[in-house]
Structure 1
Amino acid sequence: MNILRGYSTKVALSGMAIGAIFAATACNSATSTPAAPTAAPSQSLTQAVNQVVESGFPGVQAVIDGPGGHRVLTAGVGDLQTGAPFAADAQVRIGSNTKTFVTTVILQLVAEGKVELDAPIERYLPDVVQGNGNDGNRITVRQLMQHTSGIPDYLGHGTVEGGMAAEGSQLDPTADAIRWRQYEPADLVRRAMTMPPNYEPGARAEYTNTNYIVLGMLIDKVTGQSPAAEITRRIIEPLGLRATYFPAPGDTGIRDPHPSGYHQIDGKRVDFTITDTSWAGAAGAMISTGADVNRFFIALLDGKLLPAAQLAEMQRTVPFDREPGAGYGLGLIHRPVPCGKEVWGHGGSIPGFEVRTGVAADGTAVTVTSNQLPTSRAAFDAVEKVFEIAICGG
C-alpha cells in the first residue's frame, strides 16, 4: 500500500467552483461544463475521460482553468448506490496536495525571518526528531520539505539501509482500528522515531510523510497556531478558496456537495467517504475542489503567495523517487509531459480519492480527481492520460 503520495509510477494497490454549476445525469459518457465561452474539449480528451471509468473507476472529474476558460469534464458516477453524478463543484480529499499548502506557509515564515531553511529542525522542535539514530540536529528544515531528511515514514513505507522497516511498524489507515482513531501529530512522529533512519540526511530523496507531520508541528511552534489556522489565514482566505478547508478534530465527513470515495480491500470495494484523517494531518488531510486547487497553484506560481526568492527556492529540485524524470522541490513537483510544457504541481492519494494537479507555463491548470485509488497499472495510466491531454491543451 502506498498512500499520501505525490505523482507516482508505482500504482497504489490498497491508496467554489469558478463559474456556473452544472447538473447532469449519471452516465459513463464525459460531460463538459463551461463557466464561460470556451473551446470544446477535444475528442481525445473526451475519450480519455471515458476510458478512466472503463478501466475500473467509479467516476472521474477533470477541471481545467486557464487561457481557454473554465471547463469541467466528468464520467461515471460520484455515488454508486444512488447513481448521482460527480458534481462540478465536488469537494474531495486532496491528500498530499496538502503538502504544498504547508510548504507555502513555511516559506512565508522564511520570508518573514521567523524560520531558516537550512537550520536544523532541533532548533525549533527540541527532542522531537530523536531516537534510534534519528537526529534533528543533523536534519534541516529544507531537507524535511524536500524529502531528503532520511527519517522513516510513520506509515511504514520504504526501506531502511540494510533491510525493510521494522516488523509491525506499519500504520494501515484502511484498518478499522486506525480509520476511526484520533491521532495527534506528536503520536505519529513518535511512531516514526521507533524506526531507524532510511539513510543519512541529504544522501538522497525518498518521499516520506513524517517530514510533513514534523513541518506542521514547526508551523504550530513558530506561530502559536495550528497548520490549519495558518493555512486558512495566509492562503485560503486571501485567495477566496471558499470550498477548501482542513478538517477539524473529529470531523470525519466531507461538506456537500461531495462524491463518495471508494477503496479496494481484499478485492471488495468499500465506501471510504467517512473516515478520520487525523493520521494524515499536515501530510495530507485537506479537502478542496478542483477549481480551488487550480486557483491555489496558479496563484502560487504567479508569485501571489511568496516573494520571488522563496518561490525560486521552492522550485529547486532533486530527482523524485516516485516518478522517473520528475523533480521534487520544496513541496512542489516539476513533472514531464509529452508535449514538453513546463509543468509544476503536486498530487495526492488517500483512501477514497486520487487527485493529480499541475499548472503549465502558459497558465493552463488541471486537476484530475478519481473517487478511488487505481488498482492496476492500466488504471493509473488511464488517469495520467487525462491529465496529460488536458495540460497539453486537449
Structure 2
Amino acid sequence: MISRRNTLKTSAAGILAFSAGGLLPATAQPADASQLTSGPGPDAAGLQRILDEFAGSAASAVLAEVHDAGHVWRGTSGVSELGSAKPVAPSGRFRAGSITKSFIATVVLQLAGERRLHLDDTIERWLPGTVAEGNRITLRHLLQHTSGIVNYTNTRPFRMLYGTADQVVELRDRTWTPFELLNFTAAEPLLFEPGTSWMYSNTNYILLGLVIQRATGNHYAQEAGRRILRRLHLPGTEFPGRRSTIAGPHAHGYLPREVGDQIEPVDITSFNPSVTGASGELISTTADLNHFYRALLTGRLLRPAQQTELQQIRTTGRLYDYALGLQTRLVNGTRLWGHDGDIFGYQAATWTTQTGQTQLTVAYTPWGQADPKPFTEALLTTTFRTP
C-alpha cells in the first residue's frame, strides 16, 4: 500500500472516469535491438525511456505502438499484474473506453452514405419519445457533442452508485441496458440550446447506438463487427457486451481503496462494461487501433462526402477540438486525429496524422504517485517531431 497523502490523483478520479509509484521495479520490454538505433523512423530509445519513467511513477503497466516513415516500433514497461514480475505483452489487449466513439461514429456515417439515415435527422425521428427535446436535437449534434444533453456519468444518481472503489466492485457484474443509462438524465434539462455550444456527453453515444439498431435491425456491435472489425481484420478488437473478462494477454487494471491512512489497489480487471455501452465498451490492441485510424483517416471506410463530414471541427476550449467521433489537436505544428479513452482501471490514447504515415497508440493502467499526462504528452512530442 502507499501513503494516502501521495496517492495519484488521477487514480482516484478514475473511479468516475469515462473521460503506487515505486511498489515494483519497472520491467522494460523494449523493441528488438535493431530498432533502437538512430535514423529514419521512430526514436525508439527516447520512446522506451519515456515508457520506463511512466511505469516507474504513474502506471503499473504501459504499452505503445508507433508508426513512422514506414517503420513500426512497439514497446512496453511495468508489470502485467501488481505483486508479480510478469512482463507486459506488446500485443496485450486493454479496455479502450471512449475510443469506442470513433467506431460508432464510423458506422453512423456509413449509414448516412448509404442513405439509410441523414445526419440532420432528429432523435425524435429515430427514437420517438426517448428524449424530451428530441425534436430539436439531430444525429450530427450527438456525434459532435453539441446536443446539450447531460452526460449521464456526471449525474448525481450515477455518482452515488459509482462513487467509491467498493461501490464499483459491488456493481462490477451488473448488466445495464441503454434505456437504464438514459434514465440517469431523464430529469435533467438541456445544458444549452442544441448546436450553440459544446459539452462532452457519453449519453450522446448511448443514443447513437440505439439509432444504429433502429436503422439496421442489428445491435451496434454487430454492425461495427461486420463493417469495421472483420473488414479490416482487427483480431484483437471486440465489443464485449456483458462479458466481464478480457481474453488473451492483458495487464490488470486497478482502483484505489482507502484503508485507514493508506491506499491499496483493488483489481478491477474483471468488469461488466455494459455501464458504458456504445460510449465506451471497446477492448482492443495498439496495433488494431493504429490500423483502424489509419484506414479511417485515409478514406478506406467512408465515402467522400462522409469523409468530409467526419472532419468538420467544433472548437471546445480544451486541449483538443472535436469533429464527428474524432478528437483533433496540433502537436509540433502537425494536425493529429484520434481519440482518448478511459474506463475503470484503464486509459488509452491514439493519434494519427492526416496521411496515416505517423501514428501513436498508448495504453496504460494508472497507478502511482505521478500524473500520467506529462508522460503521454512526452510520447506525443517525441513521436510527432517538428517537421
Task: Work out whether the TM-score is over 0.5.
Answer: yes
Q: Aligned partner of 1:72: which letter?
A: R
Aligned match of 2:327: 333
Aligned match of 1:139: 137
SS of match in other structure, 1:247: coil
2:295 aligned with 1:302, yes or no? no
**Any conservation in 1 of the 2:336–2:351 contact (CA below 8 Å)?**
yes
Q: Aligned partner of 1:212: which letter?
A: Y
- 1:183-198 to structure 2, matched below 5 A, reads 183-198=176-191
Separation in 2 of the partners of 1:142 and 1:390? Answer: 32
Instruction: Compare 73-82 and 341-350 and name the one that shifted more.
Output: 73-82
2:256 aligned with 1:264, yes or no? yes
**Any conservation in 2 of the 1:349–1:373 contact (CA below 8 Å)?**
no
Q: 1:91 aligns with which of 79, 90, 93?
A: 93
Instruction: Compare 383-392 and 355-364 and name the one that shifted more.
Output: 383-392
Aligned match of 1:217: 210
Q: 2:108 aligns with which of 82, 100, 106?
A: 106
**Any conservation in 1 of the 2:11–2:255 contact (CA below 8 Å)?**
no
Aligned match of 2:276: 280
Separation in 1 of the partners of 2:34 and 2:211? Answer: 40
Separation in 2 of the partners of 1:310 and 1:52? Answer: 38
Pick closer, same or farther for the CA change 1:253–1:113 going to 2, 3 Å: same
Separation in 2 of the partners of 1:393 and 1:271? Answer: 40
1:41-94 CA distances to partner (integer Å, 9 max, x unpaired)? 344322211221222311211111243322111111111232211101101111
1:170-198 CA distances to partner (integer Å, 9 max, x unpaired)? 55285234322100111111221122222
2:360 aligned with 1:366, yes or no? yes
Aligned match of 2:222: 229
Aligned match of 1:345: 338
Aligned match of 1:153: 151
- Unmatched tracts of structure 1, length 5 or more: 1-9, 16-25, 158-164
Q: Aligned partner of 1:386: which letter?
A: L
Aligned match of 2:232: 239
Separation in 2 of the partners of 1:311 and 1:35? Answer: 38
Kindly indicate which of the two structures has a greater share of residues assigned to helix.
2
Aligned match of 2:5: none
**Any conservation in 2 of the 1:27–1:85 contact (CA below 8 Å)?**
no
Separation in 2 of the partners of 1:258 and 1:78? Answer: 7
Instruction: Compare 239-248 and 29-38 and name the one that shifted more.
Output: 29-38
Separation in 2 of the partners of 1:386 and 1:61? Answer: 11
1:347-389 CA distances to partner (integer Å, 9 max, x unpaired)? 101111111101013511110111227875x322122212331
- 1:306-321 to structure 2, matched below 5 A, reads 306-321=302-317
Instruction: Compare 177-186 and 83-92 and name the one that shifted more.
Output: 177-186
Alignment TM-score, normalising by the size of structure 1: 0.84
**Any conservation in 1 of the 2:99–2:280 contact (CA below 8 Å)?**
yes
**Any conservation in 2 of the 1:14–1:264 contact (CA below 8 Å)?**
no
**Any conservation in 2 of the 1:252–1:276 contact (CA below 8 Å)?**
yes
**Any conservation in 2 of the 1:91–1:243 contact (CA below 8 Å)?**
yes
Q: Aligned partner of 1:390: which letter?
A: T
Q: Aligned partner of 1:45: which letter?
A: L
SS of match in other structure, 1:331: coil
Pick closer, same or farther for the CA change 1:45–1:320 going to 2, 3 Å: same
Alignment TM-score, normalising by the size of structure 2: 0.86
SS of match in other structure, 1:212: helix
**Any conservation in 2 of the 1:64–1:366 contact (CA below 8 Å)?**
yes
Instruction: Compare 183-192 and 167-176 and name the one that shifted more.
Output: 167-176
The Cα shift of 1:312 comes to 1.1
SS of match in other structure, 1:94: strand
1:301-353 CA distances to partner (integer Å, 9 max, x unpaired)? 010000121111111111135x33x210000011121x211210011011111
Length, aligned pairs only? 358
1:120-162 CA distances to partner (integer Å, 9 max, x unpaired)? 11100001112xxxx101111000011111111111x2xxxxx
Separation in 2 of the partners of 1:316 and 1:150? Answer: 18
Pick closer, same or farther for the CA change 1:109–1:43 going to 2, 3 Å: same
**Any conservation in 1 of the 2:333–2:386 contact (CA below 8 Å)?**
no
Pick closer, same or farther for the CA change 1:35–1:246 going to 2, 3 Å: farther
SS of match in other structure, 1:368: strand
Aligned match of 2:385: 392
Aligned match of 2:171: 178
Aligned match of 2:199: 206
Pick closer, same or farther for the CA change 1:114–1:62 going to 2, 3 Å: same
Pick closer, same or farther for the CA change 1:369–1:167 going to 2, 3 Å: closer
**Any conservation in 2 of the 1:366–1:390 contact (CA below 8 Å)?**
yes
SS of match in other structure, 1:278: helix
- Unmatched tracts of structure 2, length 5 or more: 1-8, 15-24
